[in-house]
Structure 1
Amino acid sequence: MKKIAVFTSGGDSPGMNACVRAVVRAAIAQQIEVFGIIRGYDGMIRQDIIPLQSPSVSNIIQRGGTILKSARSKDFMTYEGRKKAFESLQAKGIEGIVAIGGDGTFKGAQVFFEEFGIPTVGCPGTIDNDLYGTDYTIGFDTAINTALEAIDKIRDTADSHDRVFFIEVMGRDAGYIAIQSGIAGGAELVLVPETETKIEHIIHTLEQGKARNKTSEIIVVAEGDEAGDATTIAAQVKEKLPHLDIRVSVLGHIQRGGSPTARDRILASRLGIAAVQGLVEGRSNVMAGIINDELVYTSFHDTIHKAKPIKAELLQLIDILSL
């Protein structure tokens, strides 16, 4: 393999730049020419492909976002769009791809291989930490630390005014950010899509807290909770407990930005190098991941279709620590 390309796709996550840097430097070490595809699959279709050298990725390991940009591509969902993408790669002589993104990115890569035979090795880049085949995804550690900093600050004002705060964090389909930032932030409750949320239980917890002379409480809500978002749930609780001073804070996209933590930079670097090595070894349609601090490759099929459940132990911690 003499030429490969790297791109970032889906939602951006802190550490993507560190991963791009690792891919470029690893390719150079293997005497492989490397290209960057701007704006993911859309850039592949539009032939927005540039050569990358070592200086191209200097001074980016500490930067959030992605220098290669990210975009969703409706055209790539069609055979005609994928054919154009293949022709773009052929024109550059590109023989393999490193895709940094989530399950949607890997679904596209799998179909692309089946139709045109271009091998792809993926790196898990998403703050949600919801991909099977790795203990942690690139950006997750930074996101939970960003959320935790916000929770700590909100707790100060909640305590000053004797308020109950419902804090909404990202997690459309998974509650990893909510669970870990909630435990670290001392939340009284954490509401996630993986478990059923009962308004009666929230009310009972708040009343118990008041009986123990708690004057302020924090409830962390994953945006995809099946009972609704933080605003919806808070309104239902307020209806039952009108005497409480309840506020809602939605952290939003702040969780995606910022300089990546040391943990995310190291993880991204390890996975970027592993992805290039995987292509050199002839692997395709696999995601590089770290499980128990060991490098593993997991098929896109398993990464896409297998669930990554939250450990029951973490859910129990919330109940114990909120007493």
Structure 2
Amino acid sequence: MGDIRRIGVLTSGGDCAGLNAVIRAVTHRAVGSYGWKVLGILDGTLGLMDRPLRYTEMDLDLFSGRDLLRAGGTVLGTVNKGDPFAFPMPDGKVVDRSLDFVDGFHRLELDGLVVIGGDGSMRILKQLCDKGSIGMVGVPKTIDNDVEATEYAVGFSTAVNVVTEALDRLQATAASHHRVMILEVMGRDAGHIAVNAGIAGGADVILVPELPYSLEGIAQRIRKVQAEGRSHALIVVAEGVKTLGGEAATVSHSGGQTRYGGIGAYLSERIAEATGTETRVTILGHVQRGGVPSMRDRLLASAFGVHAVDLIAQRRFGRMVAWQNRGVIDVPLEEVCVGPRCLEPHGPLLNAARGLGIYVGEVPPA
């Protein structure tokens, strides 16, 4: 087993604030401390699957001339579709292109790969790397904060700040027009954004995918607010919350893709009918992914990037860096690739929301 000389880094899945800060930390640690070469793989797995291979060498000059610590998105590009094990081709066929990825890694003569991704990316990239005996280290990123084994993922803090600011702005409009304002936020399987921002932003109702709710429960909370002398209310709902009939609210996009969206509009009509109040809906959408990363995301990204490179130096592959108990640790990828980390129905944040009088859905048995 020879010395480590060259490593790759890629971003996979949806973008978020803080990705460039991770790339910067990986490059600084690998080049500055170990004297390695770092190759940035363009557009996630596609950069190693395409021919010719698509990559760029990352050096310290890149970061001295461009302040990527503060930049949103990812300079490497990313993809959140096109499973390499079932890749859609132009002729409509689906083929297994996993060996193209493996071959691309070995053609570049890489000695390790840093993967910055969410729970889905971790699962797919682990399968790819296992197939090709590739040394992988993961860095968790997702605005949904639903990666297992870590308290925080890169991008979450910034997204919560964006939602909280939106609630601050909506409150004034709601008060001025005596309205119920509904804010639909991201969160397919987990309601971490909704509950964190909802508490911080003074919401009266927070609906998350993990808990059932009733229209009467929402209406009772609004009536209570009105009885207390307030003529407006704020509601935060995660996009993955289902209709009262148990169906997902979705919208169709070009290319035949279906995405979550529309639960805010669905609830608006029913809340207006049930309470007689005027309602309005705001959908933040991709605004939550963009912008300058928060202090917490920059700090997390920097600590994660350094630790990921150190794991490669120690040849401790098959692990993901994580934040637990106010510090950076690392965990086996097997503990991560088990599906999304959801809110506990009686966890501290949901209990805090209930203690504040916020309606968060029907209380399940303890």
TM-score by length of 1: 0.95
User: Aligned-pair distance for 1:107?
Assistant: 1.3
Task: For 1:40-189, list aligned pairs within 5 A.
Answer: 40-46=44-50, 47-58=53-64, 59-74=67-82, 76-78=84-86, 80-189=96-205
**Worse-superposed segment, 232-241 or 199-208:** 232-241
Structure whose residues are more often helix by fraction: 1
CA distance in 2, matches of 1:170, 1:307: 14
* Amino acid in structure 2 at the alignment position of 1:207: R
* Amino acid in structure 2 at the alignment position of 1:240: A
Aligned position for 2:43: 39
CA contact under 8 A between 1:133 and 1:296: conserved in structure 2? no
Q: What fraction of aligned residue pairs are identical, expressed as a percent?
A: 35
CA contact under 8 A between 1:193 and 1:226: conserved in structure 2? yes
CA distance in 1, matches of 2:81, 2:268: 36
CA distance in 1, matches of 2:242, 2:334: 26
Structure 2 unpaired stretches of 5+: 87-94, 244-248, 250-262, 359-366
Structure 1 unpaired stretches of 5+: none
CA contact under 8 A between 1:186 and 1:321: conserved in structure 2? no
CA distance in 2, matches of 1:85, 1:317: 46
CA distance in 1, matches of 2:209, 2:81: 27
SS in 1 for 2:27: helix
Query: Which deviations, in whole Å up to 9, do the C-alpha atoms of 1:153-187 show, x marking residues without a partner?
Result: 01100000110011111111110100011001000
Q: How many residues align?
A: 322
User: Aligned-pair distance for 1:235?
Assistant: 1.8
CA distance in 2, matches of 1:87, 1:298: 27
TM-score by length of 2: 0.85
Check if 1:15 corresponds to 2:23.
no
User: Aligned-pair distance for 1:306?
Assistant: 5.7
User: Aligned-pair distance for 1:307?
Assistant: 5.2
CA distance in 2, matches of 1:16, 1:279: 19
Q: Which of 351, 359, 364 is the matching residue for 1:316?
A: 351
Aligned position for 1:301: 334
After the TM superposition, which parts of structure 1 deviate over 3 Å for at least 4 consecutive aligned residues?
none
**Worse-superposed segment, 137-146 or 71-80:** 71-80
CA contact under 8 A between 1:16 and 1:64: conserved in structure 2? yes
CA distance in 1, matches of 2:98, 2:270: 47
Aligned position for 1:283: 316
Check if 1:195 corresponds to 2:211.
yes
SS in 1 for 2:114: strand
CA distance in 1, matches of 2:149, 2:352: 24
